[in-house]
Structure 1
Amino acid sequence: MRILVITVGSRGDVQPYVALGKGLQSAGHDVTLATCARFRSFVTDQGLAYGQLSDDILQLLDSAAGRAAMEDTTGVLGAVRTNIRLARQANPINRRLLADAWATARQAKPDLVVYHPKVLAGPHIAEKLGVPVVLALPVPVSVPTGDFPLVGLPELPLGRWYNRLTYRLAGAGYRMYDGMVNTFRRDTLGLAKTSGAALTTRLPDGRPIPVLHGISEHVLPRPADWPGHAHLTGYWFLDDAARWQPPAGLVDFIEAGDPPVYVGFGSMAGRDPHRLTRLVGEALRRAGVRGIVATGWGGLAETEPSDTIWHLTQAPHDWLFPRMSAVVHHGGAGTTAAALRAGKPSVICPFLLDQFVWGRQVFALGVGSAPIPQRKLTPQRLATAIRTVTTNADIRAAALKLGRSLAAEDGVANAVARIDTLLRPAG
Structure 2
Amino acid sequence: MTFGTRGDIQPYAALAVELARAGHEVVLAIPEQLTDLVPADLRTPENPSAPAGPRAPGPGAITVAPAGTHMLGLLRDVMPDLSGARDGLRTMSLMRAAMKDHLEETWRAAQCEPDVIVYHSKCQGAPHIAERLGIPAVLSIPLPFYTPTTAYPAPFFGGASFGRVGNRASYRANRLGNALYADMLSDFRQRIGLDGRVGRLQDPLVNPDGSPVDVLYPYSRHVLPVPPDYPSTAHVTGYWFLDSPADAVLSRDITDFLEADEPPVYIGFGSMGFGKGAEDRRAAVLEALERTGLRGIVATGWGGITPGAAADPRVLVIEGAPHDALFPHCVAVVHHGGAGSVAAGLRAGRPTQVVPFLGDQPFWGARLHELGVGPEPVPPRRLGRSLAAHLGQLVGTPAYARRAGEVAAGIRDEDGTAAARGILERIVDRWG
* 1:209 aligned onto 2:213: yes
* 1:222 aligned onto 2:235: no
- 5+ residue gaps, structure 2, are 44-61
Q: Deviations over 1:198-217 (max 9, x none)?
A: 65322233211110000100
**Which of 335, 340, 349 does residue 329 from structure 1 map onto?**
335
Contact 1:350 1:374 in 2 (8 A): yes
**Secondary structure at the counterpart of residue 267 of structure 2:** strand
* 1:22 aligned onto 2:17: yes
Equivalent position of 1:239 in the other structure: 243
- 5+ residue gaps, structure 1, are 1-5, 73-80
Q: Deviations over 1:60-93 (max 9, x none)?
A: 4345579648x44xxxxxxxx8996665444323
Query: How far apart, in 2, do the equivalents of 1:285 and 1:66 lie?
Result: 26
**Secondary structure at the counterpart of residue 319 of structure 1:** helix
Query: How far apart, in 2, do the equivalents of 1:123 and 1:173 lie?
Result: 14
Which residue identity lines up with residue 57 of structure 1 in the other structure? M
* Regions of 4+ moved over 6 Å: 81-84
Deviates further, 328-337 or 403-412: 403-412
Query: How far apart, in 2, do the equivalents of 1:286 and 1:118 lie?
Result: 41
Equivalent position of 2:272 in the other structure: 268
Paired residues for 1:24-423 under 5 Å: 24-43=19-38, 45=40, 47=43, 48-62=62-76, 64=78, 68=82, 71-72=84-85, 87-106=92-111, 108-154=112-158, 158-193=162-197, 195=199, 200-240=204-244, 242-270=246-274, 271-305=276-310, 306-378=312-384, 380-423=385-428
Query: How far apart, in 1, do the equivalents of 2:79 and 2:260 lie?
Result: 43
RMSD: 2.4
Query: How far apart, in 2, do the equivalents of 1:347 and 1:307 lie?
Result: 23
Aligned residues: 411
**Secondary structure at the counterpart of residue 393 of structure 2:** helix
Q: Deviations over 1:143-165 (max 9, x none)?
A: 12222222222555541222222
TM-score w.r.t. structure 2 length?
0.88
Contact 1:210 1:229 in 2 (8 A): yes
Which residue identity lines up with residue 23 of structure 2 in the other structure? G
Identity of aligned residues (%): 38
Displacement of 1:169 after TM fit?
Answer: 1.9
Contact 1:128 1:191 in 2 (8 A): no
Which residue identity lines up with residue 7 of structure 1 in the other structure? T
**Secondary structure at the counterpart of residue 387 of structure 2:** helix
Deviates further, 206-215 or 303-312: 303-312
**Secondary structure at the counterpart of residue 359 of structure 1:** helix
Query: How far apart, in 2, do the equivalents of 1:224 and 1:85 lie?
Result: 42
Query: How far apart, in 1, do the equivalents of 2:33 and 2:398 lie?
Result: 42
Distance 1:112 1:368, change over 3 A: same
TM-score w.r.t. structure 1 length?
0.89
Deviates further, 184-193 or 365-374: 184-193
Displacement of 1:353 after TM fit?
Answer: 0.8
Query: How far apart, in 2, do the equivalents of 1:298 and 1:84 lie?
Result: 18
Query: How far apart, in 1, do the equivalents of 2:152 and 2:66 lie?
Result: 36
